[in-house]
Structure 1
């Protein structure tokens, strides 16, 4: 037996997404459910030969004001909100000729999609649904008596229960549908409020809300004792949330986090200019390189730190080809993400059944505006995305010696990478490839030392006579507060430096560079990443 069953005798359907609508409505009608509908939904049902009562017949008022006013009426909301066992409510319904509505099926005007496609202000405003959220909230509040469906994927659940229980729905299902309904209207309102904030260029509105739609529940979070799920936020940004998983095991929380870090980093490298590869481990790049081909770039990136690359994430800025696929699959890799892949490359990766292959459909725009959100105890930290790109910066030479053309290319490369490494960050680069990366240290001196030691380890693995930091350039995500960190980089063999500048001791740091004959440029832009 189901608890508190409610027979569905009348349903109001008003949807913008018509997917599955006709089959669902036919099944409802087969249980003797009276169908009430509005506008385009009513037309679609009538055209399919279904008997439908137009909401105007129900209310006695025509749709007006370009459809803005049609369901905002006591005969609709009374039918949704009336408590069936309440004598006073029943008397009001009888006195005002209000009939109960047992099932509400509404999906909202496509506001998020309208914004995502870059529509103008007026079009976005017209796609803000008013009647839909009002009805959804009314039905969800009265879920003891009314079922509300806001997602086409729930049609099957409703029909299954109607079939199992002879046209009745359980309280358990009505509660679940109500919970989803409130979450949907909350996400919808969050999208609208954030769009207004962006339109008004209000960086700190009095209230902030964020919403998303479930992509998948995850087995666990960062650790097995933590629960987790993956949600897609409104708007379109190519990446792990947009990607099609071609093969491989289910993504974990850490896979998703690391893959996002890798793909955001690879987006710094214009595929029209160069092939590039980023290898990430624990959300930090452990090898990045440009090359003539993806395979060349991968081999150069791997050489930076082949130990850390084992079990890592590989991101590519061009279509994965067979040559690159063969190279990448020679060692254990967790995820490959690229804009696309050739059929031959997909077949090669398929031989590694647990390797996840994600095709994102494009690269995210590193210059695009957007927000990032981080939870803290009792609150949220919200900031604009770091969309500063080194190619747009004016580099100021502050030393007696200016960098050579080759050094300058490597400096820009290194600063692109430093943007995506946890602070404090030091990146050594040579010939458009990282040769040592120091990440996330409390001291910038320690980051410089770790990066240099990593380069020594790589040289030993590659059987080189000297680490590739000899003759390299070095990037720092923030200024050198003292000359000591710079001196470590000079000792490692760096010949040119890129850093934001802005320290009280800039003069001391510049003098150290001049004393050792190295070039230094300031960007004026810091890239902290905590």
Structure 2
């Protein structure tokens, strides 16, 4: 077999002309359509128009041009099937040995601000995916290229042997079906969002590879990093790495956790993360003060941690950060002075993400997909923000203005701590975090022990209700003065009574923040 005839129709014309020239020089006839044909002719490359093959004009503004038996018969005929080849001869249909197609830019279209529904629909490609699928199905005999990155290999093999290898054709066919599946997933996602379908009967999602990773959570696990094609810009995958070693699986996971927490705050804020849990969170009048508080919250655990800030890192903050071993600093920007200081640490990863403080694009739903054996759990992301109207005082004593501010601060942190979760806070910083415990009082004891004497006069936040008053009793013994929790236990009154006995102010939110 050899490649004698190619059909080329591309939206992305990267590398098109040099590739087509090599094909023509190798004796390959080129069939083409519309703008692709015009580009090739302008470059002096001989082209057979699609209408010359189909005997039918392109119609409906190009919506119908390749959907024709003269095209798909030439693609789908099994070359060693005598019946197929006899039918081609009887119908005067020529074989097509190479298809080079990429699709209407649907993703780029719907990503544009203010795109209309009609514009999005018009950019759903029909003929392109159909040709790709036909050629990929018949890859035993037909080569199919959807990615300009493959032009070099395909042209080289044709120049060397007149055809591509079966191994190459199989690899290209697999890439085609990945590509068309991703394309259809984007269309389905867009239409689902348009009609408000959050949990459809079939959920199809697609991700684009950012990079291969050295390994996963542990060295014996393989891993790669993917991003959602249309995710808002405030994501680790959108960050620009300015310095340091390649990101690892655990780096990315922890940086994502840090980003989620720091975006809770409008004030200058810094979050330090270890193993997906915050070990220190601080807000201040400037980013230096915020970092100092995040550091002071737990000077031991921040060692080897990931830090995220919602303001640019300046020289003064960089000088503080330099004194501690950190894996990553993620920030909207870095001053040149800060970069000069931090780049002295060869392995420190510096990530710039200007959109940290920007609001996420409004969508019908932001979904989180968690794989389980044999399937997946899908839910809305926990983006719930607490409002003043939702805060209900349930004790005899109301929290002071200062206590209420600290309760709100702690509530934003505990939402992101693995359950069972308890967070202690004072002076706009965490002072104790109890995470991932099997019982709530156990989480409280860990947070209280970490806080030590700082617990005197501090506040406590719990991600879920108290099933019994033992957490209140532990808090009172430590000197906690105010508590925020969802409420909702059949024994709420026991905890309320305990707070009243100890003079603790307690508020309910009626919102639970389990995080498993």
Q: TM-score, normalised by structure 2?
A: 0.94
> Unpaired runs of 5+ in structure 2?
none
Q: Does the alignment pair 1:483 with 2:478?
A: no
Which digits, 9 at most, give the CA deviation of each residue in 1:215-273, with x for residues without a partner?
Answer: 11122211122111111222122211112222222211111111111111111112xxx
1:512 to 498, 503, 506: 498
Are the equivalent residues in 2 in contact too, given 1:513–1:520 (CA < 8 A)? yes
Are the equivalent residues in 2 in contact too, given 1:436–1:452 (CA < 8 A)? yes
Are the equivalent residues in 2 in contact too, given 1:472–1:493 (CA < 8 A)? yes
Which digits, 9 at most, give the CA deviation of each residue in 1:184-205, with x for residues without a partner?
Answer: 1112222222222222222321
User: Are residues 34 and 87 of structure 1, via their aligned partners in 2, closer, same or farther at CA, if it must alter by over 3 Å?
Assistant: same
1:38-437 matched pairs, under 5 angstroms: 38-118=33-113, 119-163=115-159, 165-237=160-232, 238-270=234-266, 274-363=267-356, 365=359, 369-391=365-387, 394-437=390-433
Please, which moves more after superposition, 324-333 or 437-446? Answer: 324-333
Equivalent in the alignment of 1:522: 508
Are the equivalent residues in 2 in contact too, given 1:340–1:362 (CA < 8 A)? no
Please, which moves more after superposition, 246-255 or 428-437? Answer: 246-255
Equivalent in the alignment of 1:460: none
User: Are residues 95 and 325 of structure 1, via their aligned partners in 2, closer, same or farther at CA, if it must alter by over 3 Å?
Assistant: farther
Please, which moves more after superposition, 299-308 or 167-176? Answer: 167-176
Q: TM-score, normalised by structure 1?
A: 0.92
Q: Distance in 2 between matches of 1:367 and 1:431?
A: 33
Q: Distance in 1 between matches of 2:22 and 2:458?
A: 70
Which digits, 9 at most, give the CA deviation of each residue in 1:103-132, with x for residues without a partner?
Answer: 222222222233333523222222222212
Equivalent in the alignment of 1:459: none
Secondary structure class of the residue paired with 2:200: coil
Are the equivalent residues in 2 in contact too, given 1:370–1:384 (CA < 8 A)? yes
1:11-50 matched pairs, under 5 angstroms: 11-50=6-45
Please report how far the alpha carbon of residue 393 of structure 1 lies from its aligned counterpart in structure 2 after TM superposition. 5.9
User: Are residues 366 and 441 of structure 1, via their aligned partners in 2, closer, same or farther at CA, if it must alter by over 3 Å?
Assistant: farther
Are the equivalent residues in 2 in contact too, given 1:280–1:287 (CA < 8 A)? yes
Equivalent in the alignment of 1:453: 449
Are the equivalent residues in 2 in contact too, given 1:411–1:474 (CA < 8 A)? yes
Secondary structure class of the residue paired with 1:308: coil
User: Are residues 477 and 393 of structure 1, via their aligned partners in 2, closer, same or farther at CA, if it must alter by over 3 Å?
Assistant: farther
Please report how far the alpha carbon of residue 155 of structure 1 lies from its aligned counterpart in structure 2 after TM superposition. 2.4
Q: Distance in 1 between matches of 2:332 and 2:35?
A: 37
Secondary structure class of the residue paired with 1:173: helix
> Unpaired runs of 5+ in structure 1?
1-5, 457-465
Are the equivalent residues in 2 in contact too, given 1:427–1:437 (CA < 8 A)? yes
Please report the RMSD computed on the Cα atoms of aligned residues, expressed in angstroms: 1.9
Q: Distance in 2 between matches of 1:318 and 1:10?
A: 58
Q: Does the alignment pair 1:499 with 2:495?
A: no
